[in-house]
Amino acid sequence: MLESLITSKTRISLLLKFFLNPDISAYLRELSKEFGESSNAVRIELNRLTEAMVLQSSSEGRTIQYRANLNHPLFQEISSVVRKMVGLDQVIDKVLLDLGGLERAFLSGDYASGRDSGLIDLVLVGEIDRARLEHLILRTESIINRKIRTLILSVAECDELDSVFSASPILLLWDSETDASR
């Protein structure tokens, strides 16, 4: 979908990287290596997105760190488009909110790091109807053309593994206490 509007694969990769998880920052060489693109191609797109104020840059020593500009007037809209492209809106609407005893849901793995790998790692916390989940996952996968891998934990198990999750990127999708989604 986005490929027909934005013809630069590098620009799409940058938008996915920074708008799937806006807490992430990265520098040129890191992005070049991750995307398998020349540093010049990545630099050009970083400059364009920074000039448009979609990204912010800051110097840290000899490197320049880039991150999403949370204050950009179109930040929410760009995030929404990126999530729709990846299919996270479908995951939230069709899977997360229809599971009954769900306490928390978050992404881990590639998507939490801002990489569109085609495999969505979804961690669900609570008392989940596994048969209903499996049915919803299969239906959602066919809609979004991505594989969804789930890990179901009880609240106690999640609390025990909190240190493991804090060591790797995670992205909270929904929390029953705050009803925080998207």
Contact between 182 and 92 (Cβ < 8 Å)? yes
What pLDDT does residue 180 have?
47
Per-residue pLDDT tens digits for 82-126: 877 777 766 666 666 667 788 888 888 888 887 888 899 999 999
Smallest CA-to-CA distance from 103 within 175, 35, 161, 41 is with 175
Q: What is the mean pLDDT of residues 149-168?
A: 83
Question: Model confidence at 7, in pLDDT bands (50, 70, 90)?
Answer: low
Token output for 122: 């979804």
Question: Does residue 67 have a pLDDT over 80?
Answer: yes
pTM over 0.85: no
Q: What is the DSSP string of 117-163?
A: -SEEEEEEEEEE-HHHHHHHHHHHHHHHTSEEEEEEE-HHHHHHTHH
Q: For the chain, which domains are there?
A: 2-76 (1.10.10.10), 87-175 (3.30.460.10)
Contact between 123 and 151 (Cβ < 8 Å)? yes
Burial label for 64, CB within 10 Å (0-12, 13-18, 19+), is: middle
Contacts of 30 (CB under 8 A, 6+ apart): none
Question: Model confidence at 4, in pLDDT bands (50, 70, 90)?
Answer: low
Contact between 91 and 140 (Cβ < 8 Å)? yes
